[in-house]
Structure 1
Amino acid sequence: MAITAAMVKELREKTGAGMMDCKKALIEVDGDMNKAIDLLREKGLAKAAKKAGRVAAEGLVDICMTEDGKKASIVEVNSETDFVAKNDKFIQFVKDIATTALASNKSTVEELLNEKYLDTETTVQEVLNSKIATIGENMNIRRFEIFEVENGKIAGYIHGAGKIGVLVAIETDSDSEEVFTLGKDIAMQVAAMNPKYISRDDVDQDYIAHETEILKQQALNEGKPAEIVEKMVVGRLNKQLKEVCLLDQSFVKNPDLTVEKLIKETADKLGTEIKISKVVRFEVGEGIEKKEENFAEEVAKQLK
């Protein structure tokens, strides 16, 4: 039987499932609408779609690394509630996604969703839909990144039982365990202090111009003379850059050292160069607007 666009549209309206999933279901059951609805429900696709509008702002971050420490992945998987995020099956699912991402070499979530889940013939998307149907909450794989170095090590750190995750790529010729220890310390630094940039060289000029203008207006509003405002702005901007640039930050374990000095001391000790080439920090739910629930209002609405 020929599957028309109208049939796909009707099935989408009845189930809320995706267009391609609806088309595949109709083809599989030879155009029988009721059987297609049942098939989508059996696969958890219809149920998953109905939950897709809910805000998933909780969840976990996890990392996965190769044994040689040359390659690693970091992923964020979201759920609606922290209760689900603490579920052992959800925790294992996030670990499996990190493992799948590391092996995939994909760069987008859409590509990752079409990858085979671990060593199975099932796609990541199909497993995700199954988890949604079983657990009864909306979930999504929000983002991931893959790091790889030729010479050096990748260090990772998970904070707060998976609420914050960090990867740090270190370029160096040394294979010393001290390099990995340094990377771990820097990853903890990034988790705690959340720098925007690695060094001042990475700071984009738009950021500098924007902050300079704000600081200038602040100084003028404070009634400072125009002739000294420029010098004040330079001083305040330098102070701000020390906060947002990783290498300029005071080391959390020893405030007498900057991160840059810590790296130099380790490099001098090992007799080699050490460079932080890449850093990524994922914090669960950052940037997601969470819906504020008011239970009393919800009950009142139901009673009207």
Structure 2
Amino acid sequence: MSSISAALVKDLREKTGAGMMDCKGALIETNGDMEAAIDWLRAKGLAKAAKKAGRVAAEGLVGVAVSGNKAAVVEVNSETDFVARNDAFQALVRNVAAVAVANGGDTAAIAAATYPGKAHSVEAEVKELVATIGENMNFRRSLVLSVSAGVVAPYVHASIADSLGKIGVLVALESTGNTDELLKLGRQIAMHVAATNPLALSAEEISADVVERERAIFVEQAKESGKPAAVIEKMVEGRIRKFYEESTLLKQAFVINPDLTVEAAVKAAEATVGAPIKVTAFTRFALGEGIEKEETDFAAEVAAAAKG
């Protein structure tokens, strides 16, 4: 077998994005056949992906996309933050968000939908990128909000590129008023949501189980005061009211103007918008929330790597 030239290795690396030694190995295995080497790398990469499937993918990106009066937010995870700065990974997240806007927020339906510019699904595209980058990835979740009239305003916090970052928020505002002013207000409320992470839009939307759990805690705390039962009941009710104020979006103090609640700020904005405004929904995706991350000993990893 003839030797594999550096130029051929470089060419294969540019075509596949695989590592240099992997490219050289692929060319050796396929006697320098470029197309066969590409297939060999894809097969090897997918095999690696299967082995990596058990590894925690809690990094990555949250992405948002807007189309008319609806918007989507998606989360695509990777194993390392380094991958989040990869152009191919960023393009993947943007395209998944675009597919979500077009197909609705159901994650399974989006995964099965055709990937833009390709003949295969979103799920297949994720697997191909796993093969190219060599790191476990996962399209984890998605959600779409829409309004019949008005706007769905997006906001991305800790942004590393346009529409991509660590926290993605959507706020839906129903109104027939000025769209530009609505978007400005919606973005401010979305920034508020990113900062405060409310449990729900209003008290009615908070689960009864959550309220009862909080009430039980407040009762135990109040009992320690030694006050009569009637006084304890009033103390508990006061704390429940404060819990609602702190936990529901509309009753929270608006971070842009703490003298107003979000609800009052929306009402005040109606004069500028030129029509009544109703906040109908919001959502907040924080990268990796709810994922149990592995605890690693970095020093031990480095020492192990040094030993070969």
**Same topology, TM > 0.5:** yes
Hey, what's the Cα distance between the residues in 2 that align with 1:102 and 1:39?
A: 35
Answering whether residue 266 of structure 2 is matched by residue 283 of structure 1, we say no
Q: Supply the AA of the counterpart residue of 2:263.
A: E
Equivalent runs, 1:8-157 vs 2, <5 Å: 42=43, 44-66=45-67, 68=68, 70-105=69-104, 107-108=106-107, 110-157=108-155
Cα deviation digits, residues 166-195 of structure 1 (max 9, x gap): 001111121342111111110000000000
Hey, what's the Cα distance between the residues in 2 that align with 1:106 and 1:257?
A: 33
Displacement of 1:265 in angstroms is: 0.5
Q: Secondary structure at the match of 1:290?
A: coil
Q: Supply the AA of the counterpart residue of 2:70.
A: K
Answering whether residue 206 of structure 2 is matched by residue 208 of structure 1, we say no
Equivalent runs, 1:154-173 vs 2, <5 Å: 154-161=152-159, 162-173=165-176
Assess if the C-alpha contact under 8 Å between 2:101 and 2:144 holds in 1. Answer: yes
TM-score by length of structure 1 reads 0.81
Hey, what's the Cα distance between the residues in 1 that align with 2:273 and 2:50?
A: 55
For 1:246, the equivalent position in structure 2 comes to: 249
Q: Secondary structure at the match of 2:142?
A: strand
Q: Supply the AA of the counterpart residue of 2:181.
A: E
Aligned length: 264
Q: Secondary structure at the match of 2:88?
A: helix
Assess if the C-alpha contact under 8 Å between 1:113 and 1:123 holds in 2. Answer: yes
Query: In structure 2, do the counterparts of structure 1 residues 64 and 299 end up closer, same or farther at CA, with 3 Å as the change threshold?
Result: closer
Q: Supply the AA of the counterpart residue of 1:71.
A: K
For 1:257, the equivalent position in structure 2 comes to: 260
Hey, what's the Cα distance between the residues in 2 that align with 1:221 and 1:115?
A: 57
Displacement of 1:224 in angstroms is: 3.6
Displacement of 1:156 in angstroms is: 0.4
Hey, what's the Cα distance between the residues in 1 that align with 2:187 and 2:146?
A: 16
For 2:188, the equivalent position in structure 1 comes to: 185
Hey, what's the Cα distance between the residues in 2 that align with 1:106 and 1:191?
A: 20
- Report the RMSD for the aligned CA atoms in angstroms: 2.2
Q: Secondary structure at the match of 1:153?
A: strand
Hey, what's the Cα distance between the residues in 2 that align with 1:41 and 1:271?
A: 57
Equivalent runs, 1:263-302 vs 2, <5 Å: 263-298=266-301
Hey, what's the Cα distance between the residues in 2 that align with 1:100 and 1:155?
A: 18
Query: In structure 2, do the counterparts of structure 1 residues 123 and 270 end up closer, same or farther at CA, with 3 Å as the change threshold?
Result: closer
Assess if the C-alpha contact under 8 Å between 1:40 and 1:46 holds in 2. Answer: no
Displacement of 1:222 in angstroms is: 4.0
Assess if the C-alpha contact under 8 Å between 2:253 and 2:262 holds in 1. Answer: yes
Q: Where in structure 1 are there 5+ consecutive unaligned residues?
A: 1-37
Hey, what's the Cα distance between the residues in 2 that align with 1:210 and 1:216?
A: 10
Hey, what's the Cα distance between the residues in 1 that align with 2:301 and 2:226?
A: 50
Hey, what's the Cα distance between the residues in 2 that align with 1:221 and 1:41?
A: 65
Displacement of 1:269 in angstroms is: 4.1
Displacement of 1:272 in angstroms is: 2.2
Displacement of 1:119 in angstroms is: 3.0
Answering whether residue 220 of structure 2 is matched by residue 217 of structure 1, we say yes
Q: Percent identity?
A: 49
TM-score by length of structure 2 reads 0.80
Q: Where in structure 2 are there 5+ consecutive unaligned residues?
A: 1-38, 160-164
Assess if the C-alpha contact under 8 Å between 2:181 and 2:272 holds in 1. Answer: no
Hey, what's the Cα distance between the residues in 2 that align with 1:296 and 1:181?
A: 47
For 2:26, the equivalent position in structure 1 comes to: none
Cα deviation digits, residues 85-112 of structure 1 (max 9, x gap): 122221121111111221223513x322
Q: Secondary structure at the match of 2:90?
A: helix
